[in-house]
Structure 1
Amino acid sequence: MESPTYVAFATQKGGVGKSTLTTLVASYLYYAEGVELVAVDCDSSQHSMNVYRDHDLVVTKENPYLKRALHRFYLGFDKKPYEIILTSPKDALDVADNYVDNAPEEKKPSVVFFDITGTINNPDIVDLISNMDYLFVPITTETGEMASSISFASAVVNNMMTVGTTKIKELKLVWNKINSREKTRLCDVMDNYMQKHGLSSLDTVLVKSNKFEKDGRETGNTGMFRSTMLPPDRRLIRGTNLEELVSEIREIIKV
């Protein structure tokens, strides 16, 4: 079997959506499209994906509606939830390689997702990022977050990719929390600016919506959108561009 593709969503500023994007894309690929994968949570300052998993376990146990939804899904899915491995940036590559080497053939991942804090001042994180096959950098239209994402992406391209010190095949920015399903005028202006500096973004944008915060509660009959144990509720996907985003990312990473 071919080696898995190493993919990271990384930024150097919190709140842009890297952990949410990692979870949404991984869960859609695994639960809705059957792609075998593992997630490596190496954001050791908060381990957001593990927090999401712990939350999922609580709400699907305490909320009868979600408990039934979980039961119905796994009757037909016939696999366990994908594994989330907690580690540090320093050990992440060794941990991922060891998991891949020791996984049974039927569980060999096609993709390994890394949730990374994107600071370029930590040599362990720089080394980890340089060993990714594909890097996706969330970007929003908020001035500070936009500047931070562009600065981080530029540093990766100029200090790693153009000088041949990385395995990264492609870096793409991902417009997130956009007020419409299409790129806004500001997105287009910034895309033109970024292209002049060797950067580009995905065609698909993710809209700004409270749906992305729907991760289940102990009571109520609302489905889960962001979950590490279930695919996004079909009723909540409409209008978010998530399916289009996953399709575009899948074409890029070739899985």
Structure 2
Amino acid sequence: MTPQVEPQQAGTPAESIQRPTVIAFATQKGGMGKTTLSVLVASWLHYKRGIKVALLDVDSSQLSVYNQRISEHEHMDAETAAKLDEQDIEPYKILSGGPGDVPLLLSQLPANVQLVLVDMPGSIDVEGYEVAISKLDYLIVPMETSRYAVTTGFSYLNAIRELDLVPAERCRVVWNRYKPSRDGEIADQLDQSFAQYGFKSLKSRIPQRDSYQDSTNLSTLFPMPTSYLRNSGLKELFAEIESLLLTTNNDGRTTK
């Protein structure tokens, strides 16, 4: 059976991605959606876009993605197994460890992997954090527009830059739990403020939806249903991640 993947967007064929790009959604403030976004991106790009994905779960205090995959296998019924067989695409690799294990985990990935997503711990003070973050091609920081979330997120970005772990030009902010009527103007202003420090914001903004926490959407074996993409900001996010993969492949940068 031929894998059911989405037609490639003009100018972004999976075949043109020759080397892996390492990306993390990360921040120090809990509840910003870093793990949810990691799983949504990994599952959609792997199963629907034909991009070979791997996920490193190094949030060693929880290992929520790694344990999710184990749970999905343990509780798989005949209907789900048949659906997985019909999908005819091997599930993406999920490896687990601590943040200091990232170099070793990267060396253990299949040679054809094109995107590596790293689920980081929620604190920069965890042993090995600097080792993991220094391996990233891009750091994406999810934020809400509340004062506390912005202050925490900006402090985190500054710490990463001052430690010279990820250059500012390879850091991105993504607005999550976004309400246009409430957050539009302030998000625009904050984008301008961040830009003065060299930090870019993604154009996609992800609205608040409780459905993102549904088990159907957070599956590591299947992509979220296409019907959920309408007005979700996720379709735009997926496209922006693809653009980052092409940028990495075209700029000559090599994996650290």
CA shift, 1:2, in A, is 4.5
Question: Following the alignment from structure 1 to structure 2, what is the Cα–Cα distance between the partners of residues 69 and 235?
Answer: 19
Runs of 5+ in structure 1 lacking a partner?
62-66, 216-223
Question: Following the alignment from structure 2 to structure 1, what is the Cα–Cα distance between the partners of residues 236 and 28?
Answer: 25
Question: Following the alignment from structure 1 to structure 2, what is the Cα–Cα distance between the partners of residues 117 and 187?
Answer: 26
Where in structure 2 are the equivalents of 1:84-123 lying within 5 Å?
A: 84-97=94-107, 99-100=108-109, 103=110, 108-117=112-121, 119-122=123-126
Question: Following the alignment from structure 1 to structure 2, what is the Cα–Cα distance between the partners of residues 54 and 123?
Answer: 26
Question: Following the alignment from structure 1 to structure 2, what is the Cα–Cα distance between the partners of residues 145 and 188?
Answer: 16
Runs of 5+ in structure 2 lacking a partner?
1-16, 250-256
Residue 192, structure 1, aligned to residue 192, structure 2: yes
CA shift, 1:8, in A, is 1.3
Corresponding residue for residue 139 of structure 1: 143
Q: Letter of the 1:25 partner, please give it.
A: V
Question: Following the alignment from structure 2 to structure 1, what is the Cα–Cα distance between the partners of residues 75 and 91?
Answer: 15
CA shift, 1:46, in A, is 0.7
**CA deviations over 1:187-241 (Å, ceiling 9, x no partner):** 11211221222212101111111121111xxxxxxxx122111011122222211
Q: Would the aligned equivalents of 1:131 and 1:168 in 2 still touch at CA under 8 Å?
A: no
Question: Following the alignment from structure 1 to structure 2, what is the Cα–Cα distance between the partners of residues 121 and 234?
Answer: 38
Q: 2:239 aligns with which of 237, 240, 247?
A: 247
Task: Give the number of aligned pairs.
Answer: 231
Where in structure 2 are the equivalents of 1:40-55 lying within 5 Å?
A: 40-55=56-71
Normalising by structure 1, what TM-score?
A: 0.81
SS at structure 2 position matched to 1:202: strand
Residue 8, structure 1, aligned to residue 24, structure 2: yes
Question: Following the alignment from structure 2 to structure 1, what is the Cα–Cα distance between the partners of residues 181 and 212?
Answer: 15
Q: 1:229 aligns with which of 209, 217, 221?
A: 221
Residue identity over aligned pairs, in percent, reads 28
RMSD: 2.5
**CA deviations over 1:130-167 (Å, ceiling 9, x no partner):** 1211111111123322221111112223431xxxx657
Q: Letter of the 1:180 partner, please give it.
A: P
Question: Following the alignment from structure 1 to structure 2, what is the Cα–Cα distance between the partners of residues 70 and 138?
Answer: 34
SS at structure 2 position matched to 1:155: helix
Corresponding residue for residue 210 of structure 2: 210
Question: Following the alignment from structure 1 to structure 2, what is the Cα–Cα distance between the partners of residues 128 and 121?
Answer: 12
Normalising by structure 2, what TM-score?
A: 0.81
